[in-house]
Structure 1
Amino acid sequence: MATRDELAQQVLALSQDDRAFLADLLDQSLVEEGGMSPEELAAVWTVEIDRRIAAYEAGESGAVDAETAMKEMREKLAEHRNRISQ
């Protein structure tokens, strides 16, 4: 059986359409396990998005461009992977 990392590499090598299909499938499985309907999950996300917009508009949070955000996420993910592999 493939390890989680091996499986992730295989999935990331798929086409964008195939990755989107799998992402939707995984998202749906999490919704089902969490006991929320897609509508309930959408409502929860709507509240969270509204909260984040209000915080940004009130100057309580900031924003970064997508390139910076992706760079920071990749760095944090690499740090996390290094910690758990030790």
Structure 2
Amino acid sequence: MTEPEDIVTAARKLSPAARLKIVEEILDSVDVADATVDAAWAREAEDRVAAYRRGDLRALSLSDVLARYAKT
């Protein structure tokens, strides 16, 4: 079996574009969607939009948000 160090050594001989392609492929292989998590986020987003439309949740401008974090 090929050792990770051997793969890295071989990858370093490739062009930057080829190395980026490999990185993307590896990241895609470990970033597997979870339908349960996706459904929970969809419900959360729908709940937040509904709360905003009811007036239970107020929106902030981007400039206000950025100003808040610029102070920290």
TM-score by length of 2: 0.47
Q: Between Structure 1 and Structure 2, which shows a larger proportion of helix residues?
A: 1
TM-score by length of 1: 0.40
- More relative contact order in 1 or in 2 (CA 8 Å, sep 6+)? 2
Larger radius of gyration: 2
